[in-house]
Amino acid sequence: MMDWTDRHCRYFHRLLAPAALLYTEMVTTGAVLHGDRQRLMGYSPEEHPLALQLGGSDPADLAACARIAEQYGYDEVNLNVGCPSDRVQRGRFGACLMLEPGLVHDCVQAMREAVGIPVTVKTRLGVDDCYSYSYFSDFVGAVARSGCDVFIVHARKAWLTGLSPKENRDVPELRYDWVMRLKEEHPELTIAINGGITTVQQALDLLEKLDGVMLGRAAYHTPWILAELQRELFAAPGVESRDEAVELMSRYVAVQTARGVPVKNISRHLLGLFQGLPGARRWRRYISENAHLDAANSCLLAEAREHMRRGIAVAAGSAIVQDDAIE
């Protein structure tokens, strides 16, 4: 979710799902240690509980970044060993680390010794030809010996060559059964599943056998699924309606644009809010065509909603006229 789940996206998602654990986009150790730390790691207090997801392969660097994450107030630090992009492979982190379980063990152990907050791992089922249930289970077992007991599993293998990152999200087969078997064989571990989950019912079915469900692109492209899951799983709901979400995010936009944040940096994360409903295309189009015109337009979301509603009203009126003509 690099370049997607930034602080503005997470603030929006928190409104929809107050009880969810949110993860940052993956940040490399080099960026944390040498880059603009506040830009990369800054967040709003409302985002808690919040985990920082790290990419790296040097135990000392990862331990240093874990300490910084703890100092920043993050609730968890997560090591990503599942991302298959070329950029990640060149840096010797992400999915290629599944070929080095001993190194991942050492990285996680160093992080755990450095901080008091939980250290977790996000992984895949395997990479390239290193792909079998036994390989996957042995990898998790090796890392678990570091003391890590929380694993988020993208239930696909990764091809390090031959497939793009997008293809790696769709082409390799999903093996939910492997993840469920891992949980059955290791009940002492907390196992969450990721990959291919697009509906509330899918998530609820998986939660009958596993400890958690992680949503990535489904949460981004159809964010209202978060509000629906919040209602299904927790006593306290999030926002009551999409209109309420628009109102609350408009207030957030006003605060952020006053600080110099361009409205387009925020509005892009709400394009899918009305996905599947009448007027969704008009909502997306209005934001896409107007967000860049006035960087400080805190009324953009309200304007987009009104534009959408006018379109629905016109369409409804046309339908009535047509019906009258038929009669």
Express each pLDDT in 126-154 by its tens digit: 998 889 999 999 999 999 999 999 999 99
Question: With contact defined as beta carbons under 8 Å apart, do 107 and 81 qualify?
Answer: no
Please say if 9 is a catalytic residue: no
Digit-coded pLDDT (tens) for 242-281? 999 999 999 999 999 999 999 999 999 999 999 999 999 9
Q: Where are the beta strands (DSSP E) in the chain?
A: 22-23, 27-28, 50-55, 76-81, 119-123, 150-154, 190-194, 212-214
pLDDT for residue 87: 59
pLDDT for residue 311: 86
pLDDT for residue 91: 56
pLDDT for residue 236: 81
Q: Do 7-233 and 242-326 have matching folds?
A: no
Query: Is it the case that residue 320 has pLDDT exceeding 60?
Result: no
pLDDT for residue 172: 79
Please identify which of the residues 83, 96, 107, 148 carries the catalytic annotation.
83
pLDDT band at 291 (very low <50, low <70, confident <90, very high): very high
Digit-coded pLDDT (tens) for 174-209? 999 999 999 999 999 999 999 999 999 999 999 999
pLDDT band at 168 (very low <50, low <70, confident <90, very high): low
CATH architecture for segment(s) 242-326: Up-down Bundle (1.20)
Query: Is it the case that residue 323 has pLDDT exceeding 60?
Result: no
Residue 173's contacts (CB-CB under 8 Å, 6 or more residues apart) are: 156
Question: With contact defined as beta carbons under 8 Å apart, do 16 and 228 qualify?
Answer: no
- Over range 78-86, report the average pLDDT: 81
Query: Is it the case that residue 318 has pLDDT exceeding 70?
Result: no
Question: With contact defined as beta carbons under 8 Å apart, do 135 and 101 qualify?
Answer: no
pLDDT band at 327 (very low <50, low <70, confident <90, very high): very low
In whole angstroms, give the CA distance from residue 136 to residue 142: 10
Digit-coded pLDDT (tens) for 94-112? 778 999 999 999 999 999 9
pLDDT for residue 203: 97
Structural domain spans, the chain: 7-233, 242-326
In whole angstroms, give the CA distance from residue 25 to residue 252: 20
Alpha helix ranges (H) inside 259-327: 264-267, 280-290, 300-326
In whole angstroms, give the CA distance from residue 35 to residue 39: 9
Q: Which of 107, 85, 106, 105 is nearest to 96 (CA)?
A: 85
In whole angstroms, give the CA distance from residue 109 to residue 125: 21
pTM of the predicted structure, to 2 decimals: 0.91
pLDDT for residue 321: 40
Digit-coded pLDDT (tens) for 7-51? 999 999 999 999 999 999 999 999 999 999 999 999 999 999 999
Specify the CATH superfamily of domain 7-233: Aldolase class I (3.20.20.70)
Query: Is it the case that residue 62 has pLDDT exceeding 50?
Result: yes
pLDDT for residue 247: 97
Helix/strand/coil for 81:
strand
In whole angstroms, give the CA distance from residue 210 to residue 7: 28
Task: Quote the crossing angle between the two packed helices 7-16 and 224-233, to the nearest 10°.
Answer: 40
Helix/strand/coil for 25:
coil
pLDDT for residue 103: 96
